[in-house]
A and B are shown apart, each in its own frame.
Chain A
Amino acid sequence: MKSLSHPSQLAAWRARLIEERDSARKTVIVSNGTCGRASGSLDIIEALGRELDRRGLRETVRLQVTGCHGFCEFEPNVVIWPEGIYYGRLKPEDIPGIVDQTVLKNKVIGRLAYADPKTGRRYALQKDIPFYRKQVRRITGDNLRIDPERIEDYIMADGYQALAKALFDMTAEEVIREVEASGLRGRGGAGFPTGRKWQFCRQEMAARRYIICNADEGNPGTYMDRSILVANPHSVIEGMIIGAYAIGASEGYIYVRMEAPQAVRQITVARDQARKFGLLGKSILGSEFHFDIEIVEGAGAFVCGEETSLMASIEGKRAVSRQRPPFPAQSGLWGQPTNINNVETWANVPLIVRHGAEWYGQVGTPGSKGTKIFSLVGKIRHGGQVEVPMGIKLREIIYDIGGGIKDGKKFKAVQTGGPAGGFLPAEFLDLAVDYDNLVRAGSTMGSGGMIVLDETTCMVDLARHYMHFTQEESCGKCVPCRVGTRQMHDILVRITQGEGEEEDLARLQELSESIMAASLCGLGQTAPNPVLSSIRHFRQEYIDHIKHKKCAAGVCRGLARVSGRSSVAAGRKKKSQHD
Chain B
Amino acid sequence: MDDWLEGFGHDQKELTRILHRIQAESGYISPEAIRLVAQHLNITENEVYGVLTFYKAFRLQPPGRHLVIVCQGTSCHVRGGAGVFEEMKKELGIEPGGTTEDQMFSLETVNCLGCCAIGPTVVIDGTYYSRVSVEDVRSLIAEYRKRKSFP
Interface residues of A (CB under 8 A from B): 34-35, 37-39, 72-73, 75, 217-223, 226-227, 258-260, 296-302, 313-319, 375-380, 383-385, 415, 418, 449, 451, 453, 457, 462, 465-466, 469, 473, 475, 555
Contact = CB atoms under 8 A, between A and B. Distances in A.
A451 B128 contact: no
Nearest to A253: B13
A301 B117 contact: no
A453 B57 contact: no
B11 interface: yes
Nearest to B55: A299
Contacts of B118: 35, 38-39, 72-73, 75, 383
Nearest to B117: A383
A220 B78 contact: no
A300 B56 CA distance: 5
Contacts of B75: 220-221, 377-378, 383, 451
Given A259-B110, A296-B16, A298-B55, 11 more contacts: A34-B128, A37-B128, A72-B116, A226-B114, A258-B57, A379-B79, A418-B74, A449-B74, A451-B75, A457-B78, A469-B72
B73 interface: yes
A217 B114 CA distance: 9
A418 B73 CA distance: 10
Contact of A299 (B57, B74, B116): B57
B55 A383 contact: no
B40 interface: no
A221 B112 contact: yes
Given A299-B20, A316-B15, A260 B74 contact: no
A314 B13 contact: yes
B57 A260 contact: no
B89 interface: no
B111 interface: yes
Interface residues of B toward A: which range? 35 or more
Contact of A38 (B19, B58, B128): B128
B130 interface: yes
Given A221-B112, A378-B75, A317 B121 contact: no
A313 B51 CA distance: 9
Contact of A316 (B13, B58, B78, B121): B13
B74 A220 contact: yes
Nearest to A219: B112
A161 B115 CA distance: 33
Given A375-B117, A378-B75, A318 B50 contact: yes
Contact of B113 (A259, A316, A453): A259
Contact of A451 (B12, B55, B78): B78
Interface in B83-123: 110-119, 121
A299 B112 contact: no
7 contacts: A34-B128, A300-B110, A316-B51, A319-B55, A462-B74, A465-B82, A469-B72
Nearest to B11: A316
A260 B114 contact: yes
In this complex, the member of A260, A466, A469 whose beta carbon has the largest number of chain B beta carbons within 10 angstroms is A469
Contacts of A318: 50-51, 54
In the A-B complex, list the 5 residue pairs whose CB atoms are closest, starting with the nearest.
Answer: A383-B117, A223-B114, A300-B56, A299-B55, A38-B128
A73 B73 contact: no
Contacts of B114: 34, 217, 222-223, 226-227, 259-260
A219 to B, nearest CB: 7
Contacts of A226: 114
B77 interface: yes
Contact of B54 (A319, A449, A555): A319
B112 A222 contact: yes
B146 interface: no
A377 B57 contact: no
A259 B56 CA distance: 11
Nearest to A70: B117
Given A35-B117, A375-B117, A220 B11 contact: no
A415 B74 contact: yes
Given A300-B55, A302-B111, A383 B16 contact: no
Contacts of A377: 75, 116-117, 119
Contacts of A218: 111-112
Contacts of B78: 378-379, 451, 453, 457, 462
A72 B115 contact: yes
Nearest to A300: B56
Contact of A465 (B14, B17, B77): B77
A372 to B, nearest CB: 17
B73 A220 contact: yes
A275 to B, nearest CB: 18
B74 A466 contact: yes
Contacts of B77: 220, 462, 465
A163 to B, nearest CB: 27
A317 B56 CA distance: 14
B45 to A, nearest CB: 15
Nearest to A302: B111
A316 B55 CA distance: 11
Contacts of B56: 299-301
A449 B57 CA distance: 24
B60 to A, nearest CB: 14
Contacts of B14: 316
Contacts of B129: 38
Contacts of A37: 128
A299 B73 contact: no
Contact of A297 (B16, B72, B121): B16
Contacts of B16: 296-299, 313, 316
Interface in B1-43: 11-17, 19-20, 41
A300 B73 CA distance: 13
B6 to A, nearest CB: 18
A357 B11 CA distance: 42
Contacts of B110: 259, 300
Contact of B130 (A38, A313, A319, A465): A38
A221 B128 contact: no
Contacts of A258: 20, 57
Contacts of B15: 316
